[in-house]
Amino acid sequence: MRTSIYKFIEDPIAFKRKLVSWGQQFREITFLDSNSFSDEYSRFDCVLATDAFTSIKTDYDNAFDDLKQYQQTAKDWLFGYLAYDLKNDTEHLKSDNFDGLDFPDLFFFQPKKLFLLKEDQLEIQYLNMCDDEIEEDFENIINYKIETNVPADAVLIQQRISKQHYLDKVSKLLAHINQGDVYEVNFCMEFFAENANINPLEKFLKLNEISQAPFTVFFKNNKQFLLSASPERYIKKEGDILISQPIKGTSKRFLDPVEDELSKNNLAQDPKERAENIMITDLVRNDLSHTAQKASVIVKELCGIYSFLQVHQMISTITSKMDLKYAPVDALRTTFPMGSMTGAPKYAAMEIIEKLEETKRGLYSGAVGYFSPNGDFDFNVVIRSILYNQEKHYVSFSVGSAITSLSIPEKEYEECLLKAKAMHEVLQ
3-state secondary structure (DSSP) of residue 82: strand
Question: How far apart, in whole angstroms, are the C-alpha atoms of residue 112 and residue 219?
Answer: 16
What sign does the CA torsion over 301, 305, 315, 180 have? positive
> Which residue, among 330, 324, 334, has the nearest Cα to 240 in the 3D structure?
324
Cis check for the bond before 373: say yes or no (omega within 30 of 0). no
What residues contact 359, with CB distance under 8 A and at least 6 apart? 97, 98, 99, 100, 160, 188, 189, 190, 192, 396, 398
Q: What positions carry a catalytic annotation?
A: 232, 248
Question: How far apart, in whole angstroms, are the C-alpha atoms of residue 197 and residue 420?
Answer: 20
Question: How far apart, in whole angstroms, are the C-alpha atoms of residue 402 and residue 337?
Answer: 15
Question: How far apart, in whole angstroms, are the C-alpha atoms of residue 311 and residue 27?
Answer: 34
What sign does the CA torsion over 9, 78, 80, 111 have? positive
CB 285 within 8 A of CB 322: no
3-state secondary structure (DSSP) of residue 319: strand
35-55 in b/e form (b: 16+ CB < 10 A) is bebeeeeeebbbbbbbbbeeb
